[in-house]
Amino acid sequence: MLVALLSLGLLQVAKTTLLLEAASAPRQHRMVFDNVVLVIGVQPCDRWLCFTLTTGNGQRSRLRRLKNGVPQGSVLAPVLFNIYISDLPTTISRKYAYADDLAIMHADGDWQVVEGALTKDIATLRKYLQTWKLKLSTTKTVSAVFHLNNKKAKRELKVNFNNKTLPFCSEPKYLGVTLDRSLTYRRHLESLCKKLTSRVALLRRLAGSGWGAGATMLRTATLALVHSTAEYYAPVWCRSAHTRLIDPTINDTLRTVT
């Protein structure tokens, strides 16, 4: 049995920054969205959003209508985008999405069946994306396969899009986690170990014996720099045999702050 994953990168055809520059309020770097009024038309051909913009000094623009995509930069943008693509078409493969990070996955014992299913599904999604003014970023879209058959460890998945084969990646990164063929997460934990080591070195400089930050400050810095990084997606890789790679670094962190 092999599991194939196709990570899709989506782009909005119409950039929201053009509307920001056209707003009547003065343009400032700290411009934020104050009020977002979501209106989704009943008719399939009438999908649009209305919103206003507010600057740091309280000036408000007039109501704007965004016909393509969703406002970028607001705290509601991921939620609005999920609503925007909530009617994704039915596909053979299972779909997984977090905001604009979309992935489809199909499992089967035959390579050709998997390749055919993914090729058909991406063609279906292509029509949907064109309808709602979204574009598939071919540079960010990669295919990957997960299995335990060492004889076919170097076999690449061939998924076609617009008569071109999408790039294959043996160790794709999805939502910040590096995956590998047998899901050992070794590459991810090696990268995590390097990141934690550099942050622990920073904590040592803060924890001088005759000077430096106090216990409260060290605890806050540890939670912010080390703990948050170490526990990111920990439920996914915590049962890996390679977790021993980061154990010494975490123990070193505890000795530094105690």
The kind and range of the H/E element at 178 are strand 177-178
Which of 38-42, 225-229, 238-242 is the least confident region?
Answer: 38-42
Please compute the mean of the pLDDT values over residues 142-147 and round it to a whole number.
Answer: 89
Please compute the mean of the pLDDT values over residues 103-118 and round it to a whole number.
Answer: 89
Let me know: does 118 contact 112? Beta carbons within 8 Å. no
- 59 vs 178, more confident: 178
Among residues 146, 197, 130, the alpha carbon closest in space to that of 7 is found at 146
Model pLDDT for residues 3-25, shown as the tens digit of each residue: 777 777 655 443 222 222 222 22
Predicted pLDDT at 213:
72
- Most confident stretch, 43-57, 66-80, 186-200: 186-200
Gap between the Cα atoms of 60 and 55, Å rounded: 7
Gap between the Cα atoms of 73 and 71, Å rounded: 7
Among residues 93, 163, 87, 98, the alpha carbon closest in space to that of 128 is found at 87
Model pLDDT for residues 124-143, shown as the tens digit of each residue: 988 888 887 777 877 788 88
Predicted pLDDT at 206:
81
Predicted pLDDT at 185:
93
For the chain, the average pLDDT equals 75
Model pLDDT for residues 24-43, shown as the tens digit of each residue: 223 222 222 333 333 333 33
Bridge-based pairing state of the strands 164-165 and 134-146? unpaired
Predicted pLDDT at 149:
87
